[in-house]
Structure formats: C-alpha cells, structure tokens
Amino acid sequence: MLSSIPYTELRELARKDDCIQYELFFGPNFPGMHGNFGYILDVAGSTILRVRPNPGLLHRGFEKLMEQKLWFQNLSLIPRICVVDPDPNEVAYCGAIEKILGAEIPERAKFIRTITLEMSRMTSLLMGMGALGGMMGLYTVMYRMMDDREGLLSLFEWLTGARIYHIYNLPGGVRRDIPDGWTEKLEDVLKQLESNIVEWDRLMFENPVVQKRLSGIGPLTQEQAVNWGIGGPSLRATGFKADTRKDDPYAAYPYLDFEVPAVGGGDALARAVQVREEYILAISLIRQALKKLPEGPFKLDTGNPLKFIVPKGDAYNRVESSKGEYAYHVVSNGDLKPYRVSVRGPSLPGGLALCHEHLPGMLIDDVAIWMASLAICPPDFDR
C-alpha cells in the first residue's frame, strides 16, 4: 500500500461505523470532476479506503503527433494541451527552440509575451477560484468569475484573433503587434477586475463557512511538497518561496520588480488565499510591463517556415503557469521535424501520485475540493 495510513487500520475505522464497502466511480461523468478523468475509489460509508486513478480518456497522442509535423505546424497543436491556460505551453515550446538556436528575441516581444502570460494566468486563476467555489456549492462565485473572464478573453480576441487558443507565440517572437487602443482597454478591464476583488473577499475568502470547509483538506508540508514535485501556487502556499519567474527567469521578468507571495499553512484554505495573492500580483505585473513597453520589432526573421530547421541538440525549458511548472523537453536531430517533444504537465504529481497519499482516509465530499485546490487539470498529463 502506498498511503501512510495502513489499509487494515482504515478497514477498522470503517467497520466501527458498520458501513458496507463498495466501489465508486468518481468521474469521468461527474459534475465535480474537472475534465475527463476518473478515480476508482474503494469506499466504506463515506471514507475512502483505496484509490486507483483512471487516466487516459483525454489522451490525444500529442507527443507522437508532434514528431510528424514541421516545427511551425506544431504551434497549432500546442495550446490544445491545456485548455485553461494555453499561453505557457506556447512560450515553453518556443523558448526551447530559441534555446537550441541560441537566439535572443527582441525586447518588445519579451514584454508582449509577459503581458499575455500574465493575462492568461489571470483567466486561469479566475477559473480556478470559481471552480473551487463551485465544488463547495457556491456557484455564485463561479458565474461571476466567468463574467470577469469575458473581459480578458475579449482582449485576447482583439490581440490574437481567437479567445482561447491564441496561437500567438512563434519561435523568435510574437505573431502580430499590439493594435491601437488595446492598452487603454486593458487598463479599463484591469480597473474593473481590481474593483471586484472586494466582492470575492466578502463572498469567499472572508466567508466563515468557506473557511471552515476548506481548512484541513490535503495538508502538505514544505518538504513533502518539494519531494512530491508539486510546484506553483500549491508549493508557495506551504510557505516555500520558489517561483520560476524569479529563479529561472524568461521573457521580461528580469526587468520587473516584484515579491513572490508565500502564504503559509499548506492546506486547501492556504492554497485558496495564495491564489488570491497571485491574482493581485498578476495585475501589478501587467501594469509594470505596460509602463515599460519598449518600441521595436516584435519578431526575429526566421525565414520560410516550410524550410525551417533547428540544429542538432536538446533543451529543457520551464515556465511558471497558474497550476504549477510547465516544462518542455525538445530534442532535435537537425531535421525539419522535431525528434522528440516531451511535455511535463504540472498536474501529474498531484493527480496521479499524491492521490495515493491524501485520498485514503478522506471523505468523498472533499475529493472535488481537494482536486480544485491543487489545480489538477487532466489534459496536461493525458496529453
């Protein structure tokens, strides 16, 4: 057995309450599940005894597909790996290619990438907070946050041409320049989003029911989080100050001035508060980047995309997303097509490995909240 509570002890707990043991399919057809993914739970009463993850329902074969297409053609596949937060994927892939080429993208492209990354982070955090609220039954939060997301998605539509799958980053820069009037509209949207934070506080973060509900679920210490490979807001919620934007900087983060928030606590409540802090940080980062946005070209000249080759080599490029640490390991053989692209999704340690540690002993009511607080999203480990 892989959990820390022995199975026999759990059985004893269950038998004390005189419950029958049964097998429960938590997902894939369940409103409390994010995406197509399932846990097959052995439950006694309401207590989970054993868990078997059932992944693979969203397996689209990306890694094999990417070996069969040109470098530029892969750009239309890559955002589809994560629905909620597609920009870190594009930046990670393009950044890995730029590392192998040894190329440095223009300054304006770096700042535009930073702005779109932070905007995408905000949309994902809104969806994450909303999902957390929804899992508890507080659907008002979910609907209101989706409404806030609309402003950001419309801005993306104006800049890139599509709301969710932007396909905006290229190896060497970005695809188009910022249109006129976009930065002013961004400021308006940010002002409006900032003024809504007061409402979220009243609805969710200062709500005593929510606080009681969330505390104690999925406790993690710092050493545990590092050992299990959890990253992103969930890691910082344990008090460990580590952020790829500071430790391994990319895009325009070296030029921006910010402090990484780290709320201590380690349980679901701390993770929820951490998300709020990150949201406020993202707004301030966007404002800084807008002020410092330089003039100049927005992409390098990479030539004919049908004849674009990357020299032999490999690179590992990591990017901080709203769920954790995204990384791409790109191997090139000097060819027109990649030799191997391996995608590291941030939900794999949480969804497939940590579940054996946390879920046994938990009540089935809390499983959805546990998943939402750790930001487990199946598309990025199913690929």
Q: Please give the residues from 91 up to 150 whose contact with other proteins meets the rule CB under 8 A.
A: 99, 147, 150
Minimal distance in Å, beta carbon 178 to other proteins?
Answer: 11
Minimal distance in Å, beta carbon 164 to other proteins?
Answer: 11
Of 24-32, 64-72, 103-111, 262-270, the segment contacting other proteins by CB under 8 A is 64-72
Look up residue 151 and give its amino acid.
Answer: G
Minimal distance in Å, beta carbon 131 to other proteins?
Answer: 19
C-alpha–C-alpha distance, residues 341 and 347, integer Å:
18
Which residue's CB is nearer to other proteins, number 23 or number 201?
201
**How deeply is 31 buried, as exposed, middle or buried, from its count of CB atoms within 10 A (0-12, 13-18, 19+)?**
exposed
Of 42-50, 112-120, 287-295, 345-353, the segment contacting other proteins by CB under 8 A is 345-353
Q: Is 306 in the site for other proteins (CB under 8 A)?
A: yes
CA diameter of the chain: 72
DSSP string, 22-87: EEEEE-SS-TTSSSS-EEEEEEETTEEEEEEEE--TT---HHHHHTTS-TTGGGGTGGGG-SS--H
CB 152 within 8 A of CB 123: yes
**Which listed residue (28, 32, 35, 205) binds other proteins by CB under 8 A?**
205
Minimal distance in Å, beta carbon 259 to other proteins?
Answer: 17
Which residue's CB is nearer to other proteins, number 290 or number 315?
315
CB 124 within 8 A of CB 102: no
| Range 3-62, binding other proteins (CB under 8 A) | 55-56, 59, 61
Which residue's CB is nearer to other proteins, number 131 or number 235?
235
**How deeply is 254 buried, as exposed, middle or buried, from its count of CB atoms within 10 A (0-12, 13-18, 19+)?**
exposed
- Residue carrying the six token digits 């609907």: 143
**Which listed residue (69, 261, 287, 364) binds other proteins by CB under 8 A?**
69
Q: Residue 376: which of 322, 328, 329, 327 has the closest Cα?
A: 322
Which residue's CB is nearer to other proteins, number 14 or number 298?
298
Binding-residue total with other proteins (CB under 8 A): 74
**Which listed residue (106, 138, 215, 228) binds other proteins by CB under 8 A?**
228
Q: End-to-end distance of the chain based on CA atoms, in angstroms?
A: 28
Q: Is 354 in the site for other proteins (CB under 8 A)?
A: yes
Minimal distance in Å, beta carbon 59 to other proteins?
Answer: 5
Look up residue 5 and give its amino acid.
Answer: I
- Contact pattern from residue 246 through residue 285 relative to other proteins, giving x for each residue in contact according to CB under 8 A and a dash for the rest: -xx------------------------x------------
Which residue's CB is nearer to other proteins, number 20 or number 198?
198
- Contact pattern from residue 149 through residue 188 relative to other proteins, giving x for each residue in contact according to CB under 8 A and a dash for the rest: -x---x--xxxxxx--x-x-------xx--x-----x---
Count helices and strands in the chain by DSSP H and E runs: 15, 8
Strand ranges (E), the chain:
21-26, 38-44, 47-54, 169-170, 173-174, 313-320, 325-332, 340-344
Q: Is 325 in the site for other proteins (CB under 8 A)?
A: yes
Which residue's CB is nearer to other proteins, number 12 or number 297?
297
CB 86 within 8 A of CB 123: no
C-alpha–C-alpha distance, residues 344 and 82, integer Å:
12
